[in-house]
Structure 1
Amino acid sequence: MSKVEVSFTPENYHVYENLDNIVVVTDILRATSAICTALHHGAREVIPVSTVEEARFYKSKGYLVGAERNGVQLEEFDFGNSPYSYMNELEDRSVVLTTTNGTKAINMAKNSFQVVVGAFTNFTALANWLSQQERDILILCSGWKGRYNLEDTLFAGALTERLEQMGTVSLTEDSALSAKYLYNLAKDDPYKFLMNSSHRRRLKKLNLKEDIRYCLSMDNTEIIPVLHEGSLVPMNDQVLEELRLAAETAED
């Protein structure tokens, strides 16, 4: 039976890092929710970059670029990280994205066996796929500038509980147990539970209430973004086979 662990911040990732793991990166408010939305609405790929300088380079090459810092879209770019920005005119387009927390966490985990993106918006599809993998899972919470946050932990707890209910993981690690316990306190009304969370207050000041509600909504898509050759693409059999072959080559 597989093991599931939770890294509550990217700063703790080195403690849990195991290149054989499947890493689920989550940044509920709002990067991973936006990535799922972009791919659901037809984007060919989302290229996660860690710095504004990298984003500017791609912008100079004609890419569509989303860039956010501290919850605010940077003016020189096409989008921020609101999911609502990624619902139109993306069919077969490449999108580059840099955010305060989420894209950095994705790139931090890039050498793992597989890196997938998780959000409430693709929750059931992700859980069903993970339940079929005979491999340990690490849920990497993006947090806020290296600090713990509630919303990512709630997602980690929800996913942990679902996988336990499906009988595919053993909850032997305190990180997974504590995330699950927190989620059980919140699951009747996550929106209300997060009322006083630091990032929700931050976004509320920016008048992003609808973004928050969307990011906490369940199962808007069956897309599972997976990191493949530096880009997040919709998971399919061909992509998984290419990743498997790449992993075998690396082992040789």
Structure 2
Amino acid sequence: MPDQKSIEVCLTPALLNLYDTSNSIVVVIDILRATSSIVYGIDNGAEAIIPVAHVEDCINYADKGFLLAAERNGEVVEGYDFGNSPFSYTSERVKGRTIVLTTTNGTKAMHMAREEAYQVVIGSFLNLNALCKWLKVQEKNVLLLCAGWKDKFNLEDTLFAGAVVNELRKDFTHFDDSCVVAEDIYLLAKDDLRTYLHKSSHSHRLAQLNIEEDVKFCLQRNICETIPVLIGDTLIALKA
């Protein structure tokens, strides 16, 4: 295994063009709530999730037996089955089904990442331990891509990136300054993530939508073992 593996944090998709990801596993992070819901849905038996960039793209999948999920600005788009609340991705609703999903930030980041990355996987606090155990033994560099909020930095995705950096520190040789910042923030917040995130702008946006339970759910650690991986246009469970 190479002894020069690097781990980097891209704090917003607007900076992705600055990174060479051709030999990197890119972990897409959208904690509130897209990647948390994706992990939870596939862990609950969803056959696949197809991330699409635009609401209009979902229409191409109408009347074909798919569940259609669309979120913009934190709310379900009118006329769709659901948005990106993890409570919509229970086994009762998604087991054996394929979901077509578009969100404000997360699905955009996935589309950007796949253009050059060696591999794209999905991270959340829900699968933190499983993800880190897998990344440790891969012979690839890692880029942690924070989906942010409309191309701007956000706190919750950076917190998660910091948690991954903290877990993988002994297994990688090179770190960038974004890793240092992300890890420092995580170490400040790790004992009470929810209280720390009361500072975040997105937390306030979601509070106005009365979905505090979603936020609490997405900050749970290690309740899922699944690592979703993007194969072509489709997210499926990574096979061991």
Per the normalisation by structure 2, the TM-score is 0.95
Residue equivalent to 2:228: 225
Shift of residue 62 of structure 1? 3.4
Separation in 2 of the partners of 1:196 and 1:175?
Answer: 20
Is 1:149 aligned to 2:154, yes or no? Answer: yes
Q: Is the 8 A contact 1:171 1:177 kept in 2?
A: no
Alpha-carbon deviation of 1:39? 0.4
List per-residue Cα deviations over 1:175-207 (Å, max 9, x = no partner).
111111111111111100011210000001100
| CA–CA distance in structure 1, aligned partners of residues 185 and 174 of structure 2 | 14
Residue equivalent to 1:102: 106
- In the alignment, the residues of structure 1 paired with residue 12 and residue 150 of structure 2 have an alpha-carbon distance, to the nearest angstrom, of 9
Q: How is 1:138-177 mapped onto 2 (pairs within 5 angstroms)?
A: 138-164=143-169, 167-177=170-180
Question: In structure 1, what is the Cα distance between the partners aligned to 2:146 and 2:187?
Answer: 18
Identify the residue that residue 87 of structure 2 maps to in structure 1: 84
Query: Matched residues in 2 for 1:89 and 1:72: separation?
Result: 19
Residue in structure 2 matched with residue 186 of structure 1 by the alignment: 189
Aligned position for 1:115 = 120
* Residue 52 (str. 1) matches residue 19 (str. 2): no
Q: Say which SS state the counterpart of residue 89 (structure 1) adopts.
A: helix
Give the aligned residue type for 1:157.
G
Matched, 1:8 2:40: no
Q: Which amino acid in the other structure matches residue 130 of structure 2?
A: A
C-alpha deviations, 1:203-239, integer Å up to 9, x for none? 01100000000000001110000001211100004xx
Pairwise CA RMSD: 1.0
Counterpart contact for 1:34–1:83, Cα < 8 Å:
yes
User: For the residues of structure 2 that align with 1:97 and 1:82, how far apart are their CA atoms?
Assistant: 12
Contact persistence 1:43–1:92 (CA under 8 A): yes
Query: Structure 1: where are the runs of 5+ without partners?
Result: 238-252
Kindly provide the CA deviation profile for residues 74-115 of structure 1, in whole angstroms up to 9, marking residues without a partner as x.
121101100000102322111110000000001111131110
Report SS of the residue matched to 2:145: strand
Deviation at residue 17 of structure 1 after TM alignment: 3.3
The question of whether the paired residues in 2 share the 8 Å contact of 1:39 and 1:225 is answered with yes
Structure 1 counterpart of 2:60, one-letter code: F
Distance 2:64 2:205 in 1: 33
Percent sequence identity over matched residues?
47
Counterpart of 2:206 (choices 183, 192, 203) is 203
In the other structure, the counterpart of 1:35 is 38
Q: Secondary structure at the match of 1:140?
A: strand
State the TM-score, normalized to the length of structure 1: 0.91
Whole-Å separation in 2 of the counterparts to 1:66 and 1:172: 36
CA distance in 1, matches of 2:157, 2:93: 29
* Aligned partners of 1:48 and 1:230 also within 8 Å: yes
CA contact (8 A) 1:120 1:216 kept: yes
Aligned to 2:21: 18
Q: Give distance in 2, aligned partners of 1:9 and 1:133.
A: 24
Q: Is the partner of 2:224 in helix, strand or coil?
A: coil
CA contact (8 A) 1:42 1:91 kept: yes
Unpaired runs of 5+ in structure 2? none
Paired residues in the alignment total: 235
SS at 2:79 equivalent: coil
The residue type equivalent to 1:132 in the other structure is V
